[in-house]
Structure 1
């Protein structure tokens, strides 16, 4: 596997469910080590797009290049996670080391210490033996970020990572994202807090079923683009036919 991220290229990418499109004809290129926010109205296809980047959704049309053979750390929305499973915080965080030990491997003393160090770095020292069901939303998200740290993947994908957590937790986790970016990782996050995007993400992709704009955040987050996104957005239609486009697969609009 590659140790460093490469460029990610979306070529005329159309995504959907049961062959019905939800995101249409997206073409763009993200350079290695980018720190990128994905924004758009509710239901605009943001989570659909990041699922495709994570390899959980195959294209209906077009291609997604640059991630094959690449180790990826993916954090889905917290709302979809079951916290009732009887497992300790340390055991959950240790899952981030499976790429080193395998599903049936045993953790060394050094690896267990790395789990504890990761928890300490996200402010959860002393929480190792607690059950997941005892954590607040912010504490659980911190633990998930500790697991991401141990995955040490060159590409990190996050779906609404700061939803329903307190302001201090948001600030701490945003600082961690900046450290990953400074280390050369490609970090892509679905976000809804536009002021947060302006303050912390140099690049933005705005979608509303289609690509509205992408590039430097100050150029993307304009009233004109947001109004266009609101106008373009429509509910996902389970009966929508697969659409076609004559757009060349190699075009990367800016």
Structure 2
């Protein structure tokens, strides 16, 4: 019996080592100096993080969104349209980016800014800004557990539909490139806010919605993508 227990113990130890090794190979973590700068091989790191976290997990990556909409311009000639700037916050988890340094080394931050990591690293970020312009990252924070927080600014011009006297509306679509079995987009509990500024006496209200879509492939199979939408209602004083 003791020999059986010994063999069982050796097997369990070996399995644990193999599992740990596989986890380290498949999900490398961001290692940091005491001053929270990167010390990994940059080329290997960048190559590992070009794809979404889903490539190394068994479930889709969930990206949660919050947006603030600001009216920039509104025109009625030659066709009614509106220009809106969006301040967008995206959050998701990428366990590969988790960093675990002992606080005794001085790196006891709960999060770090991506732009202070040196050498600079290229990491996966969500798509879903097709059709927007002046897209620019404001900040990317990486949490010690791999939570990523990204703030991005983007502008868009959208056609207006007249509903009646002094009232218009339009839909703004955030159309991702990823399929739902890879990345799923969802609104946060407090998804959309709007700035209270007015242009030509017009103000906006934003209503968040979702609109799951499917596309048919050449083989006849349906592929599903998330569709995130903001319905903009515009009221004017004139």
TM-score normalised according to structure 1 size: 0.22
More strand by share: 2
The higher-RCO structure (CA 8 Å, 6+ apart) is 1
- Structure number with the higher helix fraction is 1
